[in-house]
Structure 1
Amino acid sequence: MTGGVTVMLVAAEASGDDRGAGLMRALKRRLGGDVRFVGVGGERMRAEGLDSPFDIAELSVLGLVEGLKAYPKVLRRVRETAALAARERPDIAILIDSWGFTLRVAKALRKLDGGLPLVKYVGPQVWASRPGRAKTTAQTFDHLLSIHAFDAPYFEGEGLPVTFVGNSALAVDFSRADPERLRRRIGAADDYPILLVLPGSRPGEIERVLPAFADAVARLKAERPELRVVVPAAETVAELVKAKVAAWTHPADVLEGEGPKRDAMKAATVALACSGTVTTELALAGCPMVIGYRLAPLTYAILKRLIRTKYVTLFNIAAQDFVAPELIQDDCNGESLAREVALRLDDPTLRTQQAARQFEALGKMGRGGPDPNEAAALAVLKILEGRAR
């Protein structure tokens, strides 16, 4: 491939921002100054050289009711993203996760330029629910970069080329994480247990999940005054999380940034986590966890009829077992969460066994495979080379 290339990336959530930044770094390593990035992303993608036209935090909506309320804003941002593509004329567009938003952007881009290669990075979880999305993906995109080894048959069966690149969460580097640095930062003695609370990266998750987590924390602290509570806040919801935690009756340390979060994951005795990418990172760090999640009642009632798996956590799906307990919807309450966390705080053997089983399940997800960022970059370059022929 000769000459410069303009790559458009679109990410609307914190996990997508992380994947986009990793792909940007990998492409820069291979292309140097011959690559230019345009599109939509968060702080991590901005740090790699992308000038996003708006803050992606407003797109992190969750649930049917929230989605309907945000619909006019989403459509406006879709138009702005398409206008950016019309001005910058990218050679390829990579649309990362965030099904609703990126699907609309892809359709808008297709109308602008029928020859623009459209790549979906992270496919919808059709093996868990809504299998019809495989056909929609194939009709809309030219290629899928898959993070799950078991994705391909669902999409290739609809005629969509798939490249398995692996899950970037499995490649998170904890070699520089320092649990003692975290303890010094929060003033925790070596024998003080640490509870890590991770309430999600979307405003809707914070509003629905954090109250139950806060109730669990209050119950645990009432019986364990020496328990230290640490709350890493995703960049997209940092101010909201800080405001919520400030109102807690029991103090907690709120952390921002990837370095402190990784220190905390290695230092934590147990984690209480919202279902999502962070559960894979915790398992990689060797941290036993309890998982909670809540949706709007109407959204949950509809999705419950559509879901085809009894697990929501990826490593539980890979293991086909509740390696880590999942407390969903009404079960996600302070009493139940506190009970499950307390079992692990009080039983070192249980913690060790669960951490080992979590890590083993990551092997079934592809842990130890090629670097996902490099694999994704190679796939993108191959697609560009195919277009140039």
Structure 2
Amino acid sequence: MVAGEASGDLLAREVVQAIRRETDDVEFAGIGGQELASVGIHSPFDISSLSILGFAEGIRAYGTVVKLADAAADAIVAFKPDAVVLVDSWGFMLRVAQRVRTRAPEIKLIKLIGPQVWATRPGRAKTLAQTVDYLLCMHDMEVPYYEPYGLPTTVIGNPALSRNRPGDGQRFRAARGMAQDEKICLVLPGSRRSELAKVAPALLEAAKLVSSAVPGVRIIVSPSGNMAEAFDEAFPDVSGWAEVLHAPEERYDAMAAADLALACSGTVTSELAMQGTPMIVAYRTGWLTWALARGLLYKKRHITLLNIVSDDQEIVPEFVQTRQKPDLIAETAIQWLSEPKRLQAQKEAQQAALVRMQVGGHSSAEIAAATILSVARGQVVLTQE
């Protein structure tokens, strides 16, 4: 199992657990973070530097990516696995796959979560098909991109939807002595260091404006677990005017309790929708990355998956790049918090978008586990064989 970022590390752990429920006849090794370590799979080196945002930022970190890809390939070849599962993190995993393919072509390579070929650079479908043996992707709309190249593909659905663990909003409020009608604005500042630098300041400033304008509103800030220490270092003064959550087990409870969330774009938007939490999304990347994406690469008008699956319509308000301004974000938030009917309408719109994203049956991890075992056991005919 190879995972380069927090969301991939979580999915890798879930798949490992699903495989272990299916059989005890599997030996694991892995490269990842805290989630894989929690199930006894410890990384031989630190992968936290792979939390890179954007094309230009990736170029600057190219040397680090290559060095880690070399180290990962060394570890994989030394372990001599039947199969390698490469989770998310397109650029890094491609380099790992190419190195393993060259040195040990007998090892089966499985990509878990494909690149967003439906949004940017559809040519990556051909590159991936030439590099790996099997793809596990999230959406039906991805499959046609790979069919011309003969890459076997299984749709597993959005893993975030499979984690639909309802939070307990009443418990969260009771633990803090809060009334059920007391307003909560939740801030989710991102899961990468680059997002803490480029997105979190605007979200926090917007939350401050909300706090000043909405009487009695409680501001709760919930950094992702992998960024909690970095958040505290970057924003030491936030605890003076907001409550900063450090208990990961309270994260879903906080979502369920919140009247509104200000969130950095990412997987967390699907999680918020599942908790029935109205949200406003912000995002900003480097200017070179943005210029390349808008001018050459990105084919959709929106970046939030809830919006993309809704025929690329803005179901969730997005404040991206030049529009990521605290006053604009706060203006919408303040308006919503003063209009209960508007918040309810937003919940309903998000729920409708969720319905369009769901795949029935087993969880994403269970579907992935069953497919991985079949590939590893040679029960699936691969195009490269």
Fold match (TM-score > 0.5): yes
Using the alignment, how far apart are the partners of 1:191 and 1:387 within structure 2? 56
- Does 2:271 match 1:272? no
* Offset of residue 240 of structure 1: 1.5
**Structure 2 residue corresponding to 1:167, chosen from 158, 183, 187:** 158
Secondary structure of the equivalent of 1:145?
Answer: strand
- Does 2:109 match 1:127? no
Deviations 1:148-170 (A, max 9, x none): 12110011222211101111100
* Offset of residue 250 of structure 1: 5.4
Per the alignment, do residues 104 and 187 of structure 1 end up closer, same or farther by CA in structure 2, a change over 3 Å counting? farther
Per the alignment, do residues 219 and 388 of structure 1 end up closer, same or farther by CA in structure 2, a change over 3 Å counting? closer
AA at the equivalent of 1:236: N
Matches within 5 A, 1:287-298: 287-298=277-288
- Does 2:222 match 1:232? yes
- Does 2:147 match 1:156? yes
- Does 2:36 match 1:45? yes
Contact 2:83 2:109 (C-alpha < 8 Å) held by counterparts:
yes
**Structure 1 residue corresponding to 2:316, chosen from 321, 324, 335:** 324
Q: Tell me the equivalent position of 1:145.
A: 136
Q: Tell me the equivalent position of 1:385.
A: 377
Q: Tell me the equivalent position of 2:92.
A: 101
- Does 2:51 match 1:60? yes
AA at the equivalent of 1:371: S
Larger mean CA deviation between 215-224 and 205-214 belongs to: 215-224
Deviations 1:237-293 (A, max 9, x none): 111212333223852222235421100110010001111110001001100100100
AA at the equivalent of 1:149: D
Using the alignment, how far apart are the partners of 1:161 and 1:68 within structure 2? 31
**Structure 1 residue corresponding to 2:340, chosen from 315, 332, 348:** 348
- Does 2:205 match 1:221? no
Deviations 1:15-49 (A, max 9, x none): 101110110010000112x2121121121111112
Contact 2:101 2:107 (C-alpha < 8 Å) held by counterparts:
yes
**Structure 2 residue corresponding to 1:72, chosen from 55, 58, 63:** 63
Q: Tell me the equivalent position of 2:109.
A: 118
CA RMSD of aligned residues (A): 1.7
Secondary structure of the equivalent of 2:262?
Answer: strand
Q: Tell me the equivalent position of 1:361.
A: 353
AA at the equivalent of 2:34: E
Using the alignment, how far apart are the partners of 1:368 and 1:231 within structure 2? 33
Task: Please list every run of 5 or more consecutive structure 2 residues that lacks an aligned counterpart in the other structure.
Answer: none
Secondary structure of the equivalent of 1:308?
Answer: coil
Contact 1:220 1:342 (C-alpha < 8 Å) held by counterparts:
yes
Deviations 1:111-170 (A, max 9, x none): 221111111111111111111111111111111001112110011222211101111100
AA at the equivalent of 1:354: Q
AA at the equivalent of 1:308: K
Q: TM-score, normalized by length of structure 1?
A: 0.93
Per the alignment, do residues 249 and 280 of structure 1 end up closer, same or farther by CA in structure 2, a change over 3 Å counting? closer
Using the alignment, how far apart are the partners of 1:63 and 1:248 within structure 2? 27
Identity of aligned residues (%): 40
Contact 2:374 2:380 (C-alpha < 8 Å) held by counterparts:
no
Q: TM-score, normalized by length of structure 2?
A: 0.94
Task: Please list every run of 5 or more consecutive structure 1 residues that lacks an aligned counterpart in the other structure.
Answer: 1-8
Alignment length (residue pairs)? 379
Q: Tell me the equivalent position of 1:242.
A: 232
* Offset of residue 368 of structure 1: 4.4
Runs of 4+ more than 4 Å apart: none
Per the alignment, do residues 258 and 156 of structure 1 end up closer, same or farther by CA in structure 2, a change over 3 Å counting? farther
Using the alignment, how far apart are the partners of 1:339 and 1:253 within structure 2? 22
**Structure 2 residue corresponding to 1:338, chosen from 311, 330, 333:** 330
AA at the equivalent of 2:208: A
Contact 2:185 2:258 (C-alpha < 8 Å) held by counterparts:
yes
Contact 2:164 2:274 (C-alpha < 8 Å) held by counterparts:
no
Q: Tell me the equivalent position of 2:197.
A: 207
- Does 2:186 match 1:196? yes
Contact 1:273 1:289 (C-alpha < 8 Å) held by counterparts:
yes
Q: Tell me the equivalent position of 2:72.
A: 81
Using the alignment, how far apart are the partners of 2:23 and 2:344 within structure 1? 44
Contact 2:319 2:329 (C-alpha < 8 Å) held by counterparts:
yes
Secondary structure of the equivalent of 2:154?
Answer: strand
